[in-house]
Structure 1
């Protein structure tokens, strides 16, 4: 058994642990489906590596079309030193959210492994104050084991309407190599799985209600471009990464 085998097993075990989130997933999917059925947009946010699942949910073949990335270049994962400082700045998340086109009745999914930095917490608070439902994707284990950096001691899981636990371990490591090196990150994999599960759950509920599904096709399949143009048309001007 190699370390790669151990890592694969750890990931699969954590994915299985995610079955505990089924009820909360269904509830969050219902909120999303309800918003989309009235022309709403699903907003997604993450900073640093937590931005990667959010990016993956936008303009994704097989994914929902009306997904808007709350994007700030200063929080992008390719500038880790900048991110680590900015996501701790009090007031930054509030300002970021205030600049977005967030509308009452819509849903925002906020991804943060630790859930302890001010920026994702403030985005959640501002969105909630504007009448949106807030779904958090976070690790309860890590969050509760680490002191909050929010001035009021809040964590993301304290300010969300629905909390989806990735079950990723503290420090986001799943194994230790022979030399003592801790490795095996899982938070991005698990958050991505939960985010796509939310979308699929919303699609299922919309379909059950007889509502046409606003789902994108691969642009590399015949007819994909035309199909996507049609499904995106009602949301023009509301999506930050429009093709």
Structure 2
């Protein structure tokens, strides 16, 4: 086996991970601003809409619902652009990547919800160049909804928009968060392999999602709204954990009901 002069590939990736942590750390001020924006929606009894296609779907699920998370978020996940496990054949990756760049799909998705200007939105796209997430942000802004874009800035700057007008996700965002991942996302070059491996955008995205989540939780508590956090029975006891899950899901259902009760009346 050839000796790797730059150290083990494990160590290389961990070193790159530390750089990503540094990028996220430098965004603390905007993280707090975004958290306040989202908390305001939740305190008003409205929702923070989450959207990501492709692997960006993972950031949606990282925010809600999972352990350590709480109601207040509407995870918009379209299986047609995020159901990847079959890879080929029916519902395969080729179709998903095609649909990500079909104009007009975003508007049809959002037609399902009664959205107000008290809502907010988080749109996740590493490149910020596919049509669907760009149009999602554009449609939200048309409804006077503040939009936060979560992108990989270096990848976005080095990529071309799939829209005919050349606009990218950040052109329809009020706030922009950067995962710190490099152009092309993959961070490690293997000797004798032309293509790098081991991406970093998910790592940076998870850091951003959870720092925002923690800040939101604090703001809610400070404003007298204790969030119903999905928690492990190993920490709080099995029955309390079950009760929290049930009440959190009920709260989510009640929040979602508001998105349907006046549907069509504002159009």
Give the drift of 1:101: 4.0
Give the drift of 1:34: 0.8
Give the drift of 1:103: 3.0
Q: Name stretches of at least 5 consecutive residues in structure 2 with no aligned partner.
A: 1-6, 85-91, 258-267
Give the drift of 1:237: 5.2
The equivalent position to 1:87 in structure 2, one of 95, 100, 109, is 100
The equivalent position to 1:226 in structure 2, one of 243, 256, 266, is 243
CA distance 1:219–1:49, change in 2 (3 Å):
farther
2:229 aligns to what SS in structure 1?
coil
Name the larger-Rg structure: 2
TM-score when scaled to structure 2? 0.84
1:55 is aligned to 61
1:216 is aligned to 230
Confirm or deny that 1:118 pairs with 2:131: yes
- Any residues of structure 2 matched to 1:95-174 within 5 Å, and which? 95-174=108-187
Coordinate RMSD, CA, aligned = 1.8
TM-score when scaled to structure 1? 0.92
2:95 aligns to what SS in structure 1?
helix
CA distance 1:239–1:186, change in 2 (3 Å):
farther
1:68 is aligned to 74
Give the number of aligned pairs: 240
The equivalent position to 2:198 in structure 1, one of 172, 181, 184, is 184
2:263 is aligned to none
2:18 is aligned to 12
Between 230-239 and 204-213, report the one with greater CA deviation. 230-239
Residues 182-223 of structure 1: CA deviation (Å, up to 9, x unaligned):
112011121122112211111111222232223222367512
1:179 aligns to what SS in structure 2?
coil
CA distance 1:77–1:172, change in 2 (3 Å):
farther
Give the drift of 1:239: 4.7
Give the drift of 1:161: 0.9
Q: Name stretches of at least 5 consecutive residues in structure 1 with no aligned partner.
A: none
CA distance 1:134–1:176, change in 2 (3 Å):
same
Confirm or deny that 1:236 pairs with 2:263: no
Give the drift of 1:102: 2.8
